[in-house]
Amino acid sequence: MNVLVVGSGGREHALAWKLKQSPSVKKLWCAPGNAGTDSVADNVPIKAHDLPALLKFARKESVDLTVVGPEQPLVEGIVDLFESEGLAIFGPSKAAARLEGSKVFAKEFMGRHRIPTAQFKTFRFDEYHAASDVIRSAALPIVIKADGLAAGKGVAVCSTLAEAAAALEECFVSKTFGDAGASVVIEECLEGVEASIFVLTDGDRFALLAPAQDHKRILDGDRGKNTGGMGAYAPAPCVTPVLHSRIVKEIVEPTLRGMKAEGYPFRGCLFVGLMLTADGPSVLEYNCRFGDPETQAVVPLIDGDAAELFLSVAQSRLRPNDVKLHHASAVSVVMASQGYPDAYETGKEILGLDAVNSDEGVVVFHAGTRRVGNSIVTSGGRVLGVTAIDYQHELKAAIETAYRTVSRITFDGAYYRSDIGKNAIPSRTNRSQT
């Protein structure tokens, strides 16, 4: 089949890399892609949010399956558009993508279906004073979330009243997030360990991929600013078999049943961001797509033809028993530009990529890269996801391999965390996490 991947990050490189291995894939494109997707697919210079141009391309090239990486085109209705033209596409409809596109919708949905999540209240911008009153009387820390898509910047976990007041003001007064901040969710702060669950679902049937953990903070030891994600590993042992079945029963099943009952069954990859609290798993957020960087660790663990699998989801004929996972461990270490998540320079030449790509069990997924002549240069904050897969299921070995590979790749100002995945390794100082 002819397959189009939409997007340009590490997630899309990982998806394209996996799809390229499918015996059923004849032709593979990535729009717009990066210097890494270029090695497994043909890059097409169409932006991920240019829906009419993507549709035109898919029609012209007789694309049999489109796989959408980022949330924005999904929330804008790319799936409805393609399906109205009879084209198969992996992802939720616009109505179903509201689980990510509107945090107010998601929280109210969880309320309707008794899905465990932090206690919350929602406010519109004309309720600024009522929202301020709630903050003043609430226990700290408190979490303030802009309703809509805010490029990962719309969530503030506030430990002081001043921080909370500033977060509310950003949404309602300075309107930093535009319409996305016209409503907010104010919610209780949960404590625990975070985990990312990816559910492949055709609206009725579903299968879980390996549970993952993302490292969102910029500094070792989960300190410093929040980022898009500095690395991930899977499977995450914090999701024990007991928790796994609670997550299915208390969260995944009621979510999919609820979406269907309300008239917008969710098809595609439902990403549930969880806090594993002392009282059990609780939903922090839903995303309507694969996570980045978790995908770089989770998708290599799928055993089988990913194109056939994603097509069966798109065509509402998923057979959960056909979803097989390797009994292996994977870790992906992000190499970022100096300064990220704040301002950073781009255009730095990346050296050492040729030497590592042939190593066994290692694949370097590109996130922010661009080809210039014969060189590959940096073009974003997150530059590479250096991924290692250990087929003996030894996370420790995968981590060692990934970091050995990281040490061979250089570019001016390269920054990475040195502790990705290490909280899952039993050690004298770290037993509480395992």
Site map (CB under 6 A) of ligand AMP, residues 234-273, x = contact: ---------------------------------------x
Region near ligand GLY per CB under 6 A, out of 185-193, 285-293, 343-351, 398-406: 285-293
Q: Rule CB under 6 A: which of 215-244 touch ligand GLY?
A: 229
In the list 294, 305, 335, 420, the residue contacting ligand GLY (rule: CB under 6 A) is 294
Residue 231 Cβ vs ligand GLY, minimum distance, rounded to whole Å: 10
Cα-Cα-Cα-Cα torsion 29, 33, 36, 41, nearest 10 degrees, comes to 0
Quote the DSSP letter at residue 146: E
Q: Closest Cα partner for 6 from 91, 92, 81, 101?
A: 91
- Under the criterion CB under 6 A, does residue 88 sit at the interface with ligand AMP? no
Backbone angles phi, psi at 402, to 5 degrees: -60, -45
Q: How far apart are CA 198 and CA 291, in angstroms?
A: 8
- Cβ atoms of 285 and 71 closer than 8 Å: no
- Cβ atoms of 219 and 340 closer than 8 Å: no
- Under the criterion CB under 6 A, does residue 287 sit at the interface with ligand GLY? yes
With residues binned 3-state (H G I as helix, E B as strand, rest as coil), the percentages for the chain, rounded to 5, are 35, 30, 40
How many residues belong to the chain?
434
Region near ligand AMP per CB under 6 A, out of 66-74, 184-192, 197-205, 408-416: 184-192
Q: How far apart are CA 65 and CA 194, in angstroms?
A: 33
- Under the criterion CB under 6 A, does residue 224 sit at the interface with ligand AMP? no
Residue 214 Cβ vs ligand GLY, minimum distance, rounded to whole Å: 4
Residue 143 Cβ vs ligand AMP, minimum distance, rounded to whole Å: 4
Q: How far apart are CA 370 and CA 373, in angstroms?
A: 10
β-sheet bridge partners, residue 233:
213, 331
| Choice between 291 and 300, CB closer to ligand AMP | 291
Q: Rule CB under 6 A: which of 110-129 touch ligand AMP?
A: 118
Q: Closest Cα partner for 365 from 45, 8, 71?
A: 8
- Under the criterion CB under 6 A, does residue 187 sit at the interface with ligand AMP? yes
Binds 229: which of ligand GLY, ligand AMP, none (CB < 5-8 Å by kind):
ligand GLY
Count of residues near ligand GLY by CB under 6 A: 6
Site map (CB under 6 A) of ligand AMP, residues 271-290, x = contact: --x----------xx-----
| Choice between 287 and 401, CB closer to ligand GLY | 287
In the list 12, 64, 292, 305, the residue contacting ligand GLY (rule: CB under 6 A) is 292
Residue 150 Cβ vs ligand AMP, minimum distance, rounded to whole Å: 9
Residue 284 Cβ vs ligand GLY, minimum distance, rounded to whole Å: 10
- Cβ atoms of 410 and 352 closer than 8 Å: yes
| Choice between 93 and 295, CB closer to ligand GLY | 295
Backbone angles phi, psi at 69, to 5 degrees: -80, -65
Count of residues near ligand AMP by CB under 6 A: 12
Residues 6+ apart with CB under 8 A from 184: 122, 123, 131, 144, 145, 146, 147, 168, 171, 172
In the list 155, 219, 243, 425, the residue contacting ligand AMP (rule: CB under 6 A) is 155
Alpha helices in 177-305 (DSSP H): 241-247, 253-261, 294-298
Region near ligand AMP per CB under 6 A, out of 56-64, 176-184, 187-195, 421-429: 187-195
| Choice between 190 and 353, CB closer to ligand AMP | 190
For ligand GLY, the binding residues (CB under 6 A) are: 214, 229, 287, 291-292, 294
